[in-house]
Amino acid sequence: MSKLLIATTNPGKLAEFKQFLADVPIEIVSLSDVSIHRKPEETGKTFEENAILKANFYQKLTGLPTLADDGGFEIDALDGEPGIKSHRWVNPERESSDEELITYTIKRLTGIPLDQRGAKLRLVLALVLSDGNTHTVEAKIRGIVPLKPGTHRTEGFPYRSLLFLPEINKFYDKQLLTVAENEQYNHRKKAVEQLKPIIDRLLTS
C-alpha cells in the first residue's frame, strides 16, 4: 500500500485528514511516525507558497509523497488580517496561544458594527509527489465575527471560536456542528475532496 505523509504537528488537523481520506486505499503517515521534528522556515508571502514550501521540505526529507496545508483567518474590516500571520498576529516573534489570538481579534474589532464583521477561514493544500510534481487546491468558509467569541474551545483551532455561521446560528466548530453540518461546511474536507482524484490516481495505481 502506498504511503502519504501528512505534514502537520497539529493533532486536530491530522485527525481530520485521516477522517477525510479514510476511503482512499493509502497508508497515512504522520511526522511523528517518521521521527521528524524539524520545521521549515515559512518565508512565503501567500498561503499557497507556504503550503508548497512545507510539502517540499518534508517530501525531500522522507522521499514520501507529502500533503501539507497553510491557511488562516481573513477579516474583511481589517483588510484581510491576520492572513498568513494568523498564528503570529499578537507577537511576530512566536506563535500565539489560542486565547491570545481570540482576545486580540475581539479587541481589534472593537467598535466595528456586526454588519461589517465578515470574515473567512481560507486553506490551501499542497501535494508534492515523489517525482516533485506539485498539486494545490483551495477552500474557504465564510461567516462573521460576533461581538463575543464562542465559549467552546477546540485546541489548535482558535479562529473556529470566532467564526459564526448565521445561516445555521452556530460557531464553526466540529464539536458544535451535527454530522451533516460538518459534511456540508468543513473547508478542509472540501479541499481534500478536490485532491482525492489525484491521490487515488497517482498513489494507488
N-term to C-term CA, the chain:
10
Question: How many structural domains are present in the chain?
Answer: 1
Contact (CB, 8 A) for 159 and 173: no
Catalytic residue, candidates 23, 33, 69, 70: 70
Measured distance CA(114)–CA(182) in Å, rounded: 25
Domain containing residue 53: 3-203
pTM over 0.85: yes
Whether 173 is catalytic: no
Q: Cα–Cα–Cα angle for 48, 50, 54, nearest 5°? A: 120
Domain at 31, CATH number: 3.90.950.10
Q: Measured on CA atoms in the order 72, 75, 76, 79, is the torsion positive or negative?
A: negative
In tens digits, what is the pLDDT along the chain, a chain of 205 residues?
789 999 998 888 899 999 999 999 999 999 999 999 888 988 899 999 999 999 999 999 999 999 999 999 999 999 999 999 998 899 888 888 999 999 999 999 999 999 999 999 999 999 999 888 999 999 999 999 999 999 999 888 999 999 999 999 999 998 999 999 998 999 999 999 999 998 888 776 6
Q: Cα–Cα–Cα angle for 139, 97, 164, nearest 5°? A: 45
Measured distance CA(86)–CA(104) in Å, rounded: 11
- Give exposure, 120-153, as e/b (b: 16+ Cβ within 10 Å): bbbbbbbbbbeeeeebbbbbebbbbbbeebbeeb
